[in-house]
Amino acid sequence: MPRTIYLAVSLDVEEEGLFCGVYARRGAGVSNTRFLTRLAPLLERGVRPTLFCAHSVLADAGSRRILEVLRDRHGAEIGAHLHHWNTPPLELSGDGSALPDSTDSVPSCVLPEALFAAKLKTLFDAARDFQGQAVTSFRMGRWDLHKKHWPLLAKAGVLTDASVRPLHGKGPGSTLPDHFDAPSDPYWIPVGGGHIFEAPLTVTPLLTGVCGGLTALAGGSGRTGRIARRLQANTHCWGALALLPAYHPLAAMKAVTRLFAARGGRLLSLTWHSSEMAPGATPHLPDDTAVRKLLDKVTAYVDWLNRRFDIRCLPMNELRNALGGSAPLLTCETGDWTTAPGKGAPQ
């Protein structure tokens, strides 16, 4: 019998204009959500996606009607997606009216924890209002989740997270999180009195052993350590491939999936953005032809998976139940992909 592999298909459902280096604090449009109907060929194949929805989408009546159809007719899961630069409140004191309408820098690590928590509350309240019950799956905008954020997610009610990108390091002077040593398969994160189930993005190293060697060297001082840290920060450019269909050809996705399966991987996490389904909403998909090619590629990939493996496609909240019993509980003193030993562990 073919080997069983789980598949998580997710979309970040969000406003337009996010691939140009500018982040709107107010007034961003969400017209791209009407193109979510183009998921039909995948839904007919049994794909049940998780739709990580930004506050701008959950606050829009037209988008909510589209989400209702995908949820009620096709079993899509509604998750939460924090774009902290435009999720209210913009400031803890005042209404944020003095802030410019947009910014070109949105590092989440500079936000006070109280403001971050307030934004999470706004997001999850909007999701509950739409869903009629608590939403429990989450992805951080720009994959920008740091170690200090895990307790805030737990307090917000997150049970499953999908914010970790393995093999993405933190370069010198970078404000981005360090997810380099995160495992490629699901694991549990101890937080406070409970746990969060992590379903990381599928990022597969092209050469075994190299990444572990970089981790060992990156801890050192001097020139060697600096070079190793730079190589870590750019491993996704030269030594690893993620399941991001908007950026990689079908042949590469198949090749990296073979590697992943041969190394014993259990969960393939495939993701893209709602704006990548709207012609011209992103610079790299300028017209309808480009969008159709993307969707045809994803459909062909799913068909190939089903021919080669016993594929079980589940939304994030069901993956927690399906794989949680065998997932390890992991801590790490360094890095942002889990909590530190003895800190945040269950009492």
Per-residue pLDDT band for 346 (boundaries 50, 70, 90) equals very low
- Name the CATH superfamily for 4-202+243-248+266-326: Glycoside hydrolase/deacetylase (3.20.20.370)
Amino acid present at 203: V
**Mean pLDDT, to the nearest integer, of 325-343?**
93
pLDDT confidence tier of residue 340, bands split at 50, 70 and 90: very high
> 89: helix, coil or strand?
coil
Going by C-beta distance under 8 Å and a sequence separation of 6 or more, which residues neighbour residue 264?
A: none
Please report, for the chain, the start and end positions of each structural domain, with discontinuous segments joined by +.
4-202+243-248+266-326
pLDDT tens sequence across 244-275: 999 999 999 999 999 999 999 999 999 999 99
Range scoring the smallest mean pLDDT among 60-69, 237-246, 298-307: 237-246
Q: Coil, strand, or helix at residue 190?
A: strand
Write down the mean pLDDT value for the chain.
93
Residue 284 backbone phi and psi in degrees, to 5:
-85, -5
Q: What is the DSSP string of 43-81?
A: HHTT---EEEE-HHHHT-HHHHHHHHHHHHHH-PEEEEE
Q: How far apart are CA 107 and CA 175, in angstroms?
A: 6
Amino acid identity for residue 107 in this structure: P
Across the range 318-340, mean pLDDT stands at 96
**Quick check: helix, strand or coil at residue 99?**
coil
Instruction: List Cβ neighbours of 279 (8 Å cut-off, separation of 6 or more).
Output: 285, 286, 287, 288, 290, 291
Question: With 60 as the cut, is the pLDDT of residue 345 above it?
Answer: no
Between the alpha carbon of residue 50 and those of residues 108, 125, 143, 239, 290, the distances in Å are 23, 18, 16, 28, 23
Band (342; pLDDT cuts 50, 70, 90) = confident
Say what the pLDDT of residue 234 is.
Answer: 75
Instruction: Tell me: pLDDT of 212 over 90.
Output: no
Nearest one of 182, 186, 184, 128 to 157, comparing CA atoms: 128
For 309, residues 6+ apart whose C-beta sits below 8 A from its C-beta are 2, 3, 4, 5, 261
Tokens for 212?
A: 């572990």
Give the single-character DSSP code of 345.
-
- H-type alpha helices, 135-200: 150-156
Instruction: Give residue 279's identity as a one-letter amino acid code.
Output: P
Least confident of 58-72, 159-173, 287-301, 324-338: 159-173
Q: Cα separations (Å) of 99 from 24, 95, 108, 119?
A: 11, 9, 16, 16
Q: How many CB atoms lie within 10 A of CB 21?
A: 8
Residue 103: both structure tokens together: 């910014």
The model's confidence at residue 343, banded by pLDDT at 50, 70 and 90, is low
Q: What's the one-letter identity of residue 28?
A: A
Close Cβ partners of 148 (under 8 Å, ≥ 6 residues apart): 109, 113
The answer to whether 229 and 218 have CB atoms below 8 angstroms apart is yes
Q: How confident is the model over 34-50, as a mean pLDDT?
A: 97
Tens-digit pLDDT profile for residues 115-138: 999 999 999 999 999 999 999 999
Expressed in angstroms, the distance from the first to the final Cα of the chain is 43
pLDDT (tens digit, 9 = 90+) per residue, 86-110?
999 999 998 899 999 999 999 999 9
- Residue carrying structure tokens 């200090």: 148
Alpha carbons 82 and 73: distance in angstroms, whole number: 26
pTM over 0.85: yes
